[in-house]
């Protein structure tokens, strides 16, 4: 198992913890995606990704359910965090985290799942970092093992096509690139100025 703190560290500066009434040492058992059109019973220790969650009655109800189920917390987009939602999370005893509104949920769940998988198995699972069998994700992991550093593969437009497991220190630029699905504009410009992209 891993903790909320470890997951926040993996997300570097791109995740914000608004409230954590039980502290950040709370163990996270799984990453779950909540779909309001087909709600599932939340699991104890789950960190729930609230796709479509807002500062509204429906999400407040979800927060109460998560608290009753013993979930670790809820992740929403920054724009959805208001005082009422934070207060509800505090009363319900769960952490409330947010990611930038521009972050792609698939990237967020991939990073979180990868960290959780590494903590449980010592290595990332193929489900967390990409399909097995000669994929670009496998190539990224192979190179990362060779150079003992994390790898991100982008196309000529800076869009992420694959990434490796985390190796060594957390790199805020790499984390941002993965979560946004493309290299931040300022980094692209920096590389263009040095002739990497034309």
Distance separating alpha carbons of residues 95 and 15, to the nearest angstrom: 12
Q: What is the pLDDT along the chain (198 residues), one digit of tens a residue?
A: 789 998 888 776 678 899 999 999 999 998 888 988 877 788 899 999 999 888 889 999 999 999 999 999 999 998 778 889 999 999 999 999 998 888 888 878 877 877 776 666 554 444 444 434 456 777 787 787 778 888 888 877 777 878 887 777 777 788 778 877 878 888 888 888 888 776
All structural domains of the chain: 2-99 (3.40.1390.20), 130-193 (3.30.450.40)
**pTM of this prediction?**
0.67
- If one counts every other C-beta atom within 10 angstroms of the C-beta of residue 146, the result is 9
């Amino acid at each position: 198992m891993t903790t909320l703190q470890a997951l926040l560290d993996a997300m570097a500066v791109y995740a914000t913890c608004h409230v954590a009434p039980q502290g950040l040492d709370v163990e996270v058992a799984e990453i779950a995606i909540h779909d309001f059109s087909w709600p599932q019973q939340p699991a104890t220790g789950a960190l729930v990704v609230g796709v479509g969650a807002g500062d509204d009655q429906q999400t407040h109800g979800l927060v109460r359910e998560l608290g009753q189920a013993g979930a670790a917390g809820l992740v929403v987009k920054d724009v959805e965090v208001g005082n009422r939602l934070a207060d509800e999370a505090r009363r319900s005893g769960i952490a409330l985290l947010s990611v930038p509104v521009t972050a792609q949920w698939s990237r967020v769940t991939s990073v979180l799942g990868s960290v959780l998988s590494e903590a449980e198995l010592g290595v990332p699972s193929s489900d967390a970092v990409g399909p097995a069998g000669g994929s670009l994700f496998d190539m990224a992991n192979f190179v990362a093992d060779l150079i003992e550093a994390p790898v991100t593969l982008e196309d000529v437009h800076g869009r992420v096509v694959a990434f490796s497991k985390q190796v060594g220190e957390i790199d805020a630029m790499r984390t941002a690139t993965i979560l946004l699905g493309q290299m931040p504009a300022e980094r692209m410009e920096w590389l263009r100025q040095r002739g990497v992209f034309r």
